[in-house]
Amino acid sequence: MSHLLHLDASARRASFSRELSEAFAGAWRAANPGGGYSYRDLAADPVPHIGQAWTEICDNVMAYGITDIGRYREAVRTPAQEEAWAIIEPLLAELVAADVVLIGTPMYNYSLPSALKAWIDQVTFPRMKLTGRRFVVTGARGGAYGPGTPKEPFDHEERYLRDFFLGHFGVEDVTFVHAELTNSLVDPLLAGARGEHEESLAAARKLAVELAAEPVRQ
């Protein structure tokens, strides 16, 4: 049975990235009435940053040659590592159970929110593979960072996430949906770009719904 893990990372309670992730999730759940669904708000309920014990668990995973995610528990040896594992285990279980991972996230300061980075760090271990899964990222940016724009080289959000999901997790099925120029709604200097923003948002909404009906590429 298909299972969707839905994450939101925006610090705004009403945000474009949340709107787009909800559009995808709603369409996906309608198309998969028997599918499983898990939701986690990384901004409202932040995941702790990793600590010393997490690094020790990673070292043990490598030292003991553990490559099966289901055996990571064997790398936990000390009371401090047990405390770290209590944080890791439910997050990792949600991720492993999902065949579709949906991440609603804005771009903050050319990169991703620290709340999302903290989650990524907690669920990531050496030689960990999540092949066969699909990742969809619905995002919002204050400016324009698309292909050919002056600020394209400053997009360290999509580039990081795409490279990480492929390079570490081995996931090739990764799609990004962006609503751009959101700052045109509040910044007088960008007021002339509001039309472009509305076009970008409408296209992103449409794409998010369309993507929800697509199967995972094996």
DSSP string for 170-210: ---EEEEEEE--GGGGT-GGGGGGHHHHHHHHHHHHHHHHH
* Residue 134 identity (one-letter amino acid): R
End-to-end CA gap in the chain:
15
Q: Residues marked as binding?
A: 10, 15-17
Q: H helices within the chain, ranges in order?
A: 16-31, 52-63, 79-97, 114-123, 158-167, 194-212
Q: Residues marked as binding for FMN?
A: 10, 15-17
Contact predicate 68/74, CB 8 Å: no
Residue corresponding to tokens 């999730």: 25
Number of alpha carbons in the 13 Å side-chain half-sphere of residue 168: 13
- Take residue 141 and report the two structure tokens written for it: 């940016």
* Residue 95 identity (one-letter amino acid): L
Q: Which helix (H) or strand (E) holds 136?
A: strand 134-140
Residues across the chain? 218
How far is Cα 88 from Cα 130, in angstroms, rounded to an integer?
16
